[in-house]
Every structure is written in structure tokens, then in C-alpha cells.
Amino acid sequence: MRHQVCIIGGGPSGLLLSLLLRRAGVDAVVLERRSRDYVLSRIRAGVLEQGLCDILRQAGVGTRMDREGFVHDGTIITAHGTTVHIDFKKLTGKSVMIYGQTEVTHDLYDELDRIGAPIFHEAEDVAIHDADTDAPYVTFSHQGQTRRVDCDYIAGCDGFHGVSRRSIPESVRREFEHVYPFGWLGILAHTPPVADELVYSGHERGFALCSMRNANLSRHYLQVPLTDKVEDWSDEAFWAELKRRLPPHLAEILVTGPSIEKSIAPLRSFISEPMSWGRIYLAGDAAHIVPPTGAKGLNLAASDVWYLSRALIAQFAGDGQLLQDYSATALARVWKASRFSWSMTRMLHEFPAEGEFLARMQAAEVDYLAHSEAAQTALAENYVGLPY
């Protein structure tokens, strides 16, 4: 088979790229290693930058988001005895949307189904060939048959463990990584959120985050050692520890209940350069990973997709400059967003091995944030999303 663009990876970034290209008349096919049910079962982030919301509306899949999502005009940061409300709307004129990644994926699937876009699920043994020529192709196994996609360009949206980044020669790739000495234990529960906005809490026992999916579905997180296992944490133990890490006025009103999902995720910062080689162009987790503290994972993938879709559309229209500049353009925003996620993580988590000096510096940072509108504006600008 032949398509102009072969997209490897059928998560939200790959699906969004396919839809944006098809809206512009560019023929794309998506290869996804997992089943559709598996993709839709993944529990992921739910904070959407205004830029991503605008892209979804432009792509024609923003109606349900606007109807069911929750607009947040700010967030609460509390640590070392100081609490500060960051008013996004006042400081930047922008907001964020609380709308689960699973719901975004549902909406993208529905629209791609409606327009008849080709998606191959359970595509196994995906391999990229001749990417450094003007005739690349991709092979994969599907339903017991070996298939081949001839294409002009390959978009690697297949995540950290996918084949796309590894298809760029090691002599070309430079990888930068920082692994944090802890993870996040997260639970999903049918309970109302503890506050109308997200609560980021730094505490001497470790970081905590109170998030939400809707008015009756909450997502909460605790910083835990990498040695902890999910089975070490009963629901009762989780709620008790969360209450310890919240300010008393929030701990008193926290509604608890049985978890419907529980998992531990390690934290890392990772960036691979360049984000293109030959006819391969990386987007999302295939090129970079950020700690979830700044809510940048899906949003950063979306900005990659925005740059890449525009570049590919322009390329097929006869202007190749955007595609030539894609890696440098995307990486400039990737590094800035990664800096923000890193700085939020450093400010609010416990790093026992670094001693009392870091704890005092964190307290000074939060105190400065509480009393400086300039500092609050800088945080708000990064949280709602830097411009594309």
C-alpha cells in the first residue's frame, strides 16, 4: 500500500497528526501496536493547555471537550507553610482545560472513523527501511500477514520504547536524561475533588497532588520511593498519607473512597536530539519525556504535532522550509517546557539525599513566589502553555 505519510503510533499524538493532515488533504495511515481497547484503557493526564484546546477545535473535535471539560483559571501551590494561588486568567488572560487524555483519544477515534481514515491496530514487528533515501517504507505484521507501506515521510509517534527513535543512528542521536529518585503513586476514585482547582502540595514527607477528571472523579498522587510497590499501599494507607501532606483545611474536607485504579510511575526528564533524520520525524514521547509535575506530557506532544503537521502540509504544497526547520523549532519549545517541569519538580518534591540546604532553598522559592507577581506570572505563562 502507499500513503504520503506513515504514522507509527496510535496514541493521541499520532491520531491528532493523522486528522490534521487529512483535513489538509494529505493522505496518512496510522500503525498502532496495541488494540483500540488497550489504547482507550490507558489512564493519563487531564490538563490541556489553551493551545491544545485550540488545535482540537480547529481539527473539529472540540465540541465534547467544550461541553464536558472544566475550565480552570488558576491553581493552588502550598509548601513549607506558604500557600499561593496562581491566577492564570488575571496574570496571562488564559486558562487550562481539565479533560482526560482518554476522552481526547475517544474524540479523535470517533472523527477518524467518521472520515474513514485508515488505522491498523495490533500492528506488530514494525520496521523502518531506507529512511535516509527519498523512498522510505515501513513493514509490519498484521493478522498473520506481512504488510508494507511505501510513503514519502514517516512520523514517529510511538513513544519512548518505540522503533522510530531507535531507527535514527546512534552516531547521530544525542540523548539527555535525568532520572529522579522517586515515583508517583496515583489513584483514581469516584470522589469529588478537594478543591475547585488543582492543588500542588510540597511537604516534608513528600509531594502530593490533588487533581480531578470531573465533578465526581478525582485523581490523586503521592511521591513515593522507587522501591515501593502498588501492593504496599492499601486505599486506607493512601488516603491517610494524603491527608498528612495537605494543609489542615483541605485535609478536613477531603472525601475518600475505594480506588478504581492504582499505579506507580517513575519520574524522568529525557530529550533526544535531533527530532528528525532522513525522512523520519519524531513527535511526543518518542523524542522526550517530562516529569508530570508541570502537566506538559500530552501538551508538549501536541505542540510537536502542530509544528509537524504544518511542516508536512507545506512540504506537499511545495515549501520545504518548515520541514527542514522542524527539529530545531520543536526542540526550542521542548527544552523550555522541560525546564518548567524540572523546576516545578525541584521546588515541590523531597530530595532527602540533598539535605537541609535544598529544603531551605525550596522554602525561599515558594515564599518568593507568594510575594512576587512577576514570579507568579512566569509560572502561569509556562503552565497555560508557551506560544507555538
Active site residues: 72, 200, 292, 296, 383
What pairs with residue 210 in β-bridges? 199, 220
Longest dimension (CA), the chain: 63
Whole-number Å distance between alpha carbons of 13 and 306: 10
Residue recorded with cell 482526560: 100
How many angstroms separate the CA atoms of 116 and 304, rounded?
Answer: 24
Question: DSSP 3-state assignment of 166?
Answer: helix
Whole-angstrom distance, CA of residue 96 vs CA of residue 48: 6
| DSSP β-bridge partners for residue 178 | 269
Q: Alpha helix (H) ranges present in the chain? A: 12-23, 36-41, 50-58, 63-68, 88-92, 101-115, 163-166, 235-245, 248-251, 297-316, 321-348, 355-371, 373-384
CB 248 within 8 A of CB 201: no
Grid cell at residue 346: 525541584
Q: Other C-beta atoms within 10 Å of 118: how many?
A: 14
Under DSSP, is residue 272 helix (H, G, I), strand (E, B) or coil? strand
Question: At a CB cut-off of 8 Å and minimum separation 6, what does 13 contact?
Answer: 157, 283, 284, 285, 298, 301, 302, 304, 305
